[in-house]
Amino acid sequence: MQAAALATTLFVLVAALVVSWLVRRQTRTTVEFYLAGRTVSAFLNASAVCGDYFSAASFLGVAGAVYASGLDGVWFGVGFAGGFVPLLLFTASPLRRFGEYTLPDYFAARFESGGIRLVAVAMVQLIVLFYLAPQMVGAGTVWELLVGEGLLGLGPYATGVVLTAAAMAVFSTLGGMRGMTWNQAVQFWMMTSAIALVVAFAFAAGFSYTRALRDLSQGPLVNPERWRVADLLRPDPTGRRPADLARAVTSDAYWQQHVEPRLQDPQAEVVVLMPQRSKLRPGPAVYNQPGHLYSPWDHASLLLTLVLGTAGLPHVVMRFYTNPTGALARRSTVYVVLLTSVFYWLATAAGVAGRALTPQVGEEAVALPVQVVEGLLTHPDQVLPFLAQTLGGDLLLGYVAAGAFAAMFSTIGGLLLASAASWGHDVFEQFLRPEAPERLRVLVAKLAVVLMAVVAMAIGLAFPRVAFLRAFPAVIALMVSWAFAISASGLVPVLLLSLWWKGVTLRGAVAGMLAGGGSCLALLAVNFLRVVEAYPAWLGGLPVGPALPTLVSAPLAFGTVLLVSWLDRRNIPPHVDEVWLRLHGTARERQERLLERVVSRARLGS
């Protein structure tokens, strides 16, 4: 057991519990429970937004992607940080001025329809579930890696999942959004300081970013891969076997000790180094050049997914409703853009440092249960804890472990609150019991948090049994990107157009959500089946699209909204001018309009 990792993780849990306990009395109304009374300052909210947003994909996955793929891994950080630019320019301020609780709330008021509220609720819950899955698996995997022992008779992985789900249910129900705001802000700065310390220790150990990048790019990009012996020895159409490629980049000692003894068993599995091929040009991939992970279409689709999808993430958008005004919501977003840029530069530097320094560490010096092949980690997402342990010892490892759990705690808490707001406010309060007293509404919100925590725990415990996902955490950033894809396709096109074009109709908005979200899910399913080689034969002849479907599904959603709204233009909502004043009018204009309505009602009454 890593005692420092366990101690610091438990410290994070206790600190979060104390914060939630101190603010527990400020959760007696729904506006307090869901939105912290709309009184959160710009910088505090920006820190909390970053804590909410920086999930395991950011803290562990981006550094791991850079470690494994070089420049192609950097695109994750660029996309995650760039996603706040559309929020800053187009959505944060008008949504806050509109003054509702949730995205489904906005759509229902914008189009005066309960039906579109339910469609939006379905989209929100899909995004939450897709986002929760890797966070819960991450909680179990990080506990297993960094602590290594179970509690109360559970295995290490199950302990991480159950403890995280239970803790977040308690914190979220006890402290609501106000407690979550302070916890997420503190946890963001813990994450940032942890990754900054790792980078600082790397520089102190002689790491030079520019020199490392130059040296790592001298030859082909090589990564460890797990192969079945029969596949390793099977020649390709040119007559060359993968084993020949692996042998050329593997040392004699490793090959004779770990590979040759198993070559007689076709069903045996071996881990070998393999030069990676570029998807952009003939020949091998190179560390400082694009092409290892993505073709041109995949590059475009990934960036579109991350940049566009951020604007529709329910747990992120919900945070901007906590600011007192639209201007402060915009200022919060400016701070977020600055903070995310710093964080992702640190993550990129950590990934490069890991790639440069890992070969210098002897396998006998590695205390963590990680697999190192010829100086390279088989699981790239372990690079941060690996660097922490080898460069700073158990104390730095413990702090990085606390940062990893802080990343998952803050994101999971935000997701649980966003999901509870959707169930409690958008379903229970609007459809089941509109006349419910405030106390019952808050109780239902807290019950919704607990139920979603149970669902999250079940997902986390069941996830490793899916064969394709046993390679976790190497695909952690990709799994989160699926949630971004649904957001970018099913919510954001309708959101952007309805915020900035009066001509969007109810039919156009619903059709856009269904077309974008439905096509995204269908294409994700097809790509998933292709990867696991479980698709029916008739799918084999279909053209292969980008790994993320946003390049197809998002334009389809935009086009559907435009076309259906134009055909349905006679049904533009009659109250659209009032909506526009709420979205884009100044405070003075809104006050004048309110005064006009009061005077008009007084005249009618007289």
What's residue 46's pLDDT?
A: 93
Assess whether pLDDT exceeds 60 at residue 365.
no
Cis peptide before 473 (omega within 30 of 0): yes
Report how many domains make up the chain.
Answer: 3
Domain containing 356 — which CATH number?
1.20.1730.10
Asked whether residue 335 is domain-assigned, the answer is: yes
The answer on 135 and 29 residing in a single domain is yes
Q: pLDDT confidence of 250, banded at 50, 70, 90?
A: confident
| Confidence band, pLDDT 50/70/90 cuts, at residue 490 | very high
What does the pLDDT average to over 124-146?
Answer: 84
User: What pLDDT, on the 0 to 100 scale, is given for residue 467?
Assistant: 52
- Please report whether residue 230 resides in a domain: yes
- Residues 177, 320, single domain; the answer is yes
Question: In terms of domains, do 77 and 207 share one?
Answer: yes
Contact 137, 145 (CB under 8 A): no
Q: Is residue 351 part of a domain?
A: yes
Ranking 267-276, 332-341, 369-378 by mean pLDDT, the lowest is: 369-378
pLDDT at residue 590, rounded to an integer:
59
256 and 193 together in one domain:
no
Whether 307 and 195 share a structural domain: yes
Residues 311 and 457 occupy one common structural domain? yes
- Residue 53 forms part of a structural domain: yes
Q: Which residue would you say has higher pLDDT here, 511 or 148?
A: 511
Give the residue from 275, 290, 320 where a domain finishes: 275
Which of 398, 428, 463 corresponds to the end of one domain? 463
Residue 357 has pLDDT above 70, yes or no: yes
pLDDT band at 155 (very low <50, low <70, confident <90, very high): confident
* 3-class secondary-structure state, position 225: strand
Is 327 inside any structural domain?
A: yes
* 376 belongs to a structural domain: yes
Average pLDDT in the chain: 85
Residues 19 and 121 in one domain: yes
Q: Are 52 and 417 in contact (CB under 8 A)?
A: no
- What is the structure's pLDDT at 515? 97
Q: Which of 323-332, 469-478, 548-557 has the lowest mean pLDDT?
A: 469-478
Query: Would you place residue 471 in the very low, low, confident or very high pLDDT band (cuts 50, 70, 90)?
Result: very low
Pair (15, 86) in one structural domain: yes
Instruction: Give the model's confidence band at 531: pLDDT under 50 very low, under 70 low, under 90 confident, else very high.
Output: low
| Domain span including residue 231 | 222-275
Task: Look at residue 596 and tell me if it is in a domain.
Answer: yes
The residue among 440, 463, 486 that closes a domain is: 463
Residue 457 lies in a domain: yes
Exposed e or buried b per residue across 99-127, where buried means at least 16 C-beta atoms within 10 angstroms of its C-beta: ebbbbbbbbbbbbebeebbbbbbbbbbbb
Name the burial class of residue 65, with classes exposed (0-12), middle (13-18) and buried (19+) by CB atoms within 10 angstroms of its CB: buried
Q: Could you tell me if 201 and 226 lie in one domain?
A: no
Separation CA 359–CA 36 (nearest Å): 48
Least confident interval from 421-425, 458-462, 489-493 = 458-462
Identify the pLDDT of residue 473.
39
Query: Tell me, what's the pLDDT at 297?
Result: 84
Query: Does residue 9 sit in the same domain as residue 98?
Result: yes
Is the pTM of the predicted complex or chain greater than 0.85? yes
| Contact assessment for residue 145 and residue 369, using Cβ atoms and an 8 Å cutoff | yes
Q: Are residues 28 and 162 in the same domain?
A: yes
Same domain, 247 and 378: no
Average pLDDT over residues 83-103: 87
